[in-house]
């Protein structure tokens, strides 16, 4: 269907291009910055296990569903929902699902960009040798001084947003594919080297123990919600990012296999990052639950003492910034695609407006680490509030609706046709996961959090 639209909407040059772009979207600050610090805040092993279950039972099925919806309509998320609702003869209100995704993407990018700014600032710090021979205390001070300065945070946030918009304005094919192609292997090798360093610290076993030996008494209903929310966040699900990428996907490609591959790679990166970080945390008497600053207070200790640490530090933060860039693009692409395809904006104009909105909103996060650190809503700083609102609420709600749509609203014949699974059993398995398991899991976690269960 809608082949006429396809030419103006663009398409990936190949399956591998889609895999690279979707992996680029999935692997980002979520894996290397967020996963370790929320694992630290939620007590380690038990949290990791819940998270892995969420990826398997909720994340992968929804990733398949989201890609499928996008590819079927070949439109932006807002129009995708309109078109597929019409095809299924369903209620017009599904429209708002596409909308919520566009908004969630803009909000996430507003704080994502501030943190990505930290990563880029750390490239410079690594380059000028700030970490050289510094111990845990000195490294923590470098971080604390840095985030105490609103001007610095705003400068790096602005730089990151401008770079993101310059890439987005050029469209999907150019640049993005190439960036990811070289980024992923390098990032992977760097993480392995960091794990090797962690093995040399006296606390390697303690780190592994913390990560992989579960203590379920540390698990609260809020940590289960965080683990589930993070499964959506790290796989870029629930807001239409993967839907947009799916819409550029040629028809002859197996969606299910591709989704499993991407989720697997994403999880491996998050685990490697954590295996590298926690031994350093314990070896230097740092706190596992020190929050968003965790990687910035630990990894530089390694860079400051290991051989070749100067170069590794620079490379690592360059990679982290680049990984954040390939994710940030996917956070804003739904908004841009919608402005261009539905509102008749030129791509330039769409980029300027959406970029400015995100930049402005990001100031709230930049100030929440210093001048406005006392400003609290429901006991949360602006950054924590935006993060909770999006990752823990909007994405799971979006994902729940996507699951219901794909499992119950869309005609079985259509999903079967679009997924084109190798055998009937795989299709049935997906159908059960998407119709029952994933929505019920999200629903029960929510009931638990609001105290009904
Ligand atoms: N998955 C990315 C990360 O782990 C962040 C991200 C990119 C994202 N696009 C998204 C999160 C869409 C939610 C929705 O860093």
pTM here is 0.93
Tell me the C-alpha distance between 169 and 350, whole Å: 9
- Tally of domains in the chain: 1
> What is the position in ligand 1's atom list of the atom closest to the CA of 104?
14
**Where is pLDDT greater, at 20 or 407?**
407
The least confident of 50-64, 278-292, 398-412 is 278-292
pLDDT band (50, 70, 90) for residue 448 = confident
> What is the position in ligand 1's atom list of the atom closest to the CA of 235?
1
Q: How many residues does the chain have?
A: 453
Task: Compute the distance from residue 20 Cα to the ligand 1 centre, in Å.
Answer: 14
Classify residue 138 as exposed, middle or buried by CB count within 10 Å of its CB (0-12, 13-18, 19+): middle
Ligand 1, residues at Cβ distance < 6 Å: 25-26, 28-31, 108, 233-234, 236, 239, 241, 327, 330-331, 395
The two three-digit tokens of residue 204, written as one number: 């390697």
Task: Compute the distance from residue 312 Cα to the ligand 1 centre, in Å.
Answer: 25
CA atoms within 13 A on the CB side of 106: 21
Q: What pLDDT score was predicted for residue 7?
A: 41
Query: Which of 36, 164, 167, 234 has most ligand 1 atoms within 8 Å of CB, for mutation?
Result: 234
> What is the position in ligand 1's atom list of the atom closest to the CA of 33?
15
CB 5 within 8 A of CB 75: yes
**Where is pLDDT greater, at 405 or 75?**
405
Q: What pLDDT score was predicted for residue 433?
A: 98
Q: What pLDDT score was predicted for residue 92?
A: 83
CA-closest residue to ligand 1 atom 12? 236
pLDDT band (50, 70, 90) for residue 196 = very high
pLDDT band (50, 70, 90) for residue 11 = low
Q: Write out pLDDT tens, residues 103-133.
A: 999 999 999 999 999 999 999 999 999 999 9
> What is the position in ligand 1's atom list of the atom closest to the CA of 238?
14
CA-closest residue to ligand 1 atom 14? 236
As a whole number, mean pLDDT of residues 378-406 equals 96
Query: Which of 327, 335, 337, 389 has most ligand 1 atoms within 8 Å of CB, for mutation?
Result: 327
Tell me the C-alpha distance between 229 and 391, whole Å: 5
Q: What pLDDT score was predicted for residue 76?
A: 85
As a whole number, mean pLDDT of residues 140-160 equals 97
Q: Which CATH number characterizes residue 95's domain?
A: 1.20.1740
Task: Compute the distance from residue 128 Cα to the ligand 1 centre, in Å.
Answer: 31
Task: Compute the distance from residue 334 Cα to the ligand 1 centre, in Å.
Answer: 13
CB 97 within 8 A of CB 402: yes
Tell me the C-alpha distance between 415 and 426, whole Å: 13
Which domain, by its residues, includes 93? 3-449
As a whole number, mean pLDDT of residues 10-28 equals 81
As a whole number, mean pLDDT of residues 53-76 equals 95
CA atoms within 13 A on the CB side of 98: 27
Decide if pLDDT at 6 tops 60.
no
CB 136 within 8 A of CB 279: no
Q: Write out pLDDT tens, residues 167-195.
A: 888 876 566 677 777 778 888 898 999 99
Task: Compute the distance from residue 264 Cα to the ligand 1 centre, in Å.
Answer: 15
pLDDT band (50, 70, 90) for residue 27 = very high
Q: What pLDDT score was predicted for residue 3?
A: 41
Classify residue 418 as exposed, middle or buried by CB count within 10 Å of its CB (0-12, 13-18, 19+): middle
Decide if pLDDT at 10 tops 60.
yes
Task: Compute the distance from residue 30 Cα to the ligand 1 centre, in Å.
Answer: 7
Q: Write out pLDDT tens, residues 47-61.
A: 999 999 999 999 999
């Amino acid at each position: 269907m809608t082949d006429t639209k396809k030419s103006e909407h663009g398409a990936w040059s190949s399956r591998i291009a889609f895999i690279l772009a979707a992996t680029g979207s999935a692997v980002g600050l979520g894996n290397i910055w967020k996963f370790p610090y929320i694992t630290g805040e939620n007590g380690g092993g038990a949290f990791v296990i819940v998270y892995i279950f969420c990826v398997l039972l909720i994340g992968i099925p929804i990733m398949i569903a989201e890609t499928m919806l996008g590819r079927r309509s070949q439109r932006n998320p807002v129009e995708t929902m309109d078109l597929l609702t019409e095809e299924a003869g369903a209620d017009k209100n599904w429209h708002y699902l596409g909308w919520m995704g566009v908004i969630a993407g803009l909000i996430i990018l507003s704080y994502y960009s501030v943190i990505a700014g930290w990563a880029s600032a750390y490239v410079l710090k690594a380059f000028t040798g700030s970490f050289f021979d510094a111990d845990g205390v000195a490294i923590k001070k470098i971080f604390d001084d840095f985030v105490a300065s609103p001007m610095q945070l705003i400068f790096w946030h602005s730089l990151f947003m401008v770079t993101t918009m310059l890439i987005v304005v050029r469209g999907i094919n150019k640049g993005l594919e190439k960036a990811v192609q070289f980024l992923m292997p390098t990032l992977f090798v760097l993480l392995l080297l960091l794990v090797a360093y962690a093995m040399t610290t006296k606390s390697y076993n303690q780190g592994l123990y913390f990560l992989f030996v579960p203590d379920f008494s540390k698990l609260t209903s809020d940590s289960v919600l965080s683990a589930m929310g993070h499964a959506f966040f790290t796989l870029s699900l629930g807001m239409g990012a993967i839907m947009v990428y799916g819409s550029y996907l040629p028809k002859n490609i197996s969606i299910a296999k591709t989704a499993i591959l991407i989720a697997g790679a994403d999880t491996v990166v998050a685990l490697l990052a954590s295996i590298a970080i926690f031994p350093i945390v314990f070896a230097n008497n740092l706190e596992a639950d020190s929050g968003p600053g965790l990687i910035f207070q630990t990894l530089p200790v390694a860079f400051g003492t290991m051989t070749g640490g100067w170069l590794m530090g620079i490379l690592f933060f360059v990679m982290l910034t680049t990984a954040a860039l390939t994710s940030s693009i996917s956070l804003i692409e739904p908004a841009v695609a919608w402005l261009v395809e539905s509102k008749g904006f030129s791509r330039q104009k769409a980029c300027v407006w959406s970029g400015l909105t995100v930049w402005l909103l990001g100031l709230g996060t930049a100030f929440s680490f210093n001048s406005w650190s006392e400003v609290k809503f429901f006991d949360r700083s602006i950054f924590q509030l935006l993060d909770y609102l999006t990752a823990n609420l909007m994405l799971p709600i979006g994902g729940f609706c996507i699951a219901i749509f794909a499992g119950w609203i869309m005609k079985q014949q259509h999903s079967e046709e679009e997924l084109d699974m190798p055998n009937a059993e795989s299709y049935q398995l997906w159908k059960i996961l998407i119709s029952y398991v994933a929505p019920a899991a999200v629903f029960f976690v929510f009931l638990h959090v609001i105290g009904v269960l």
